[in-house]
Amino acid sequence: MPFSRASGILLHPTSFPSRFGIGDLGSEAYQFIDFLAASGQQIWQILPLGPTGYGDSPYQCFSAIAGNPMLISPDRLQQQGLLTEEDLSNLPDLPCQINFGWVMHIKQPLLQKACTAFRTQASPEQQEAFQKFCQQKAAWLDDYVLFMALKDAHGGASWHTWKAEIVQRRPDALEAARRTLTNQIFFHQFVQFQFFQQWLDLKQYAEQRQIQILGDLPIYVAHDSAEVWAHPEIFRLDEETGLPELVAGVPPDYFSETGQLWGNPIYNWQRLQEQDFAWWVQRIEAMLECVDLIRIDHFRGFEAYWAVPYGEPTAINGEWVQAPGRAFFKHLDDALGKLPIVAEDLGLITPEVEELRDEFGFPGMKILQFAFDSEADNPYLPFNYPRNSVVYTGTHDNDTTVGWFNKRSPEGQDRVRQFLGCTSPEGIHWDLIRLAMSSVSDLAIIQLQDLLGLDTEARMNAPSQQLGNWGWRYSSDALTDELRDRLRYLTEIYGRLPKPTETN
């Protein structure tokens, strides 16, 4: 569906400043919302919010719906009386770059303390709100909290290595586990209750300032996740081992000569279609409670997906398999109405993928960093954009604009300058921000790293690199008045400010 002309910033909540070693949903998140509103932005784009596992990727989570416990603000828990000042004192001096192991070491005990306090001290109103949350979210929460409690009991081992009766979800075995793991189950219920309470408070604050949140929906889920354990019938798994028969990825592309081997299990689309895509409908309904707009990652996988036999070392030896994308999106329209979806249509895009995207009116993505290395028909050059599109300087998978430009050959840099006419003394990042803002695309999204003019050390993710990603954070003094005013100026002159009737 077409969007009104607007602009926004791409920033994951883990990148907020905080004294706990990782961004959270505390005061800095609210200050960022204030910065968005003051600079005339209307969109905040985030990455998936789920609980991350090995590699710390928000695209490989233990749940497709649950929230990441590490995003919970201990300061807000203290404000509820669940932690004390002493609990939050004597914190180690953590670096700005996220050390996920240290963060877990610091925050997990705080969450445990808060849970104990809640269990013994919560007011009747708090207890009622908690019980209501558990009842309303039971469709996914019950499986998730049992999965996480079992995972804790197995030392973090993947579910397919557990006892056969648990892997196969025999009712008597599951009931015995629930009795044995009562305390652990309560803890994970409490953590999710706190996450969603904090997130929805922040979302409401954003709504009051006319900021819409653009969430990110990965097409696939991790094999070691509550959904794959609880719903094995909708995935292509080996019935004996529980391991995938086929895994997801993409063939060799711009980012990697051997392709990208993600390792997620492929869906059993036939079974999903027989069930009227019920699992997908539930997933999207849950997401729409947390965000206003949805970016579907790897949209082309709904037309045809790259399937690689399990055990292959790279993604080279896969094949394209047709998916029922048209039937799926038609069913979503019938079940949920016209949805505010952005299609991540990057990579090897065929006419069939474009036809599917356009049939349902989804805006695609245009990346300026891809625009300068071919002829005038390059779809990433701004004069080729349709209005129903979203333009980016770069995404979380790209280098920063400064890093990208510095790595180009002298000839490559000249090609960019020739297109721009010149490069300004403000820096190449402001040149591309201006180019994005001035384009006809309905939405323009800028990485915060590009607003700050940062080099490669601020890159969020290198897709061919399994470890060392997702750790960037900005400093608490980064969002200056000068930055706010410069961004607002460009937003205004290129017609992307909120309409007067939409302001506070």
Neighbours of 377 (CB within 10 A): 7
**Which residue stretches of 41-82 are H helix?**
74-79
Candidate list 56, 216, 227, 397, residue with the active-site label: 397
- DSSP-assigned letters across all residues of 352-415: HHHHHHHHTT--EEEEGGGSSSS-TT-TTSGGG--SSEEEES--TTSPPHHHHHHHS-HHHHHH
Candidate list 28, 143, 303, 344, residue with the active-site label: 344
Residue 442, SS3 per DSSP: coil
Give Cα separations from 156 to 67, 123, 150, 459 (angstroms): 18, 33, 8, 29
- DSSP-assigned letters across all residues of 216-264: EEESS--SSSHHHHH-GGGB-B-TTT--BSEEEEE-S-SS-TT-EEEEE
Please name the residues in contact with 137: beta carbons below 8 A apart, sequence gap of 6 or more: 192, 196
Whole-angstrom distance, CA of residue 86 vs CA of residue 68: 25
Q: Which one, of 466, 369, 467, 452, lies nearest residue 15 by Cα?
A: 452
Task: Check if 492 is active-site.
Answer: no
Cα-flanking dihedrals φ and ψ of residue 113, to 5°? -65, -45
Whole-angstrom distance, CA of residue 373 vs CA of residue 369: 9
Task: Check if 397 is active-site.
Answer: yes
Candidate list 28, 297, 399, 431, residue with the active-site label: 297
Please name the residues in contact with 25: beta carbons below 8 A apart, sequence gap of 6 or more: 13, 71, 72, 73, 76, 195, 198, 199, 201, 202
**Is the separation of the CB atoms in 117 and 87 below 8 Å?**
no
Check residue 458 and report its DSSP letter.
G
**Is the separation of the CB atoms in 21 and 94 below 8 Å?**
yes
Q: Which one, of 218, 271, 265, lies nearest residue 243 by Cα?
A: 265
Task: Check if 276 is active-site.
Answer: no
Amino acid (1-letter code) at residue 427: G
Point out the residues that are catalytic.
297, 344, 397
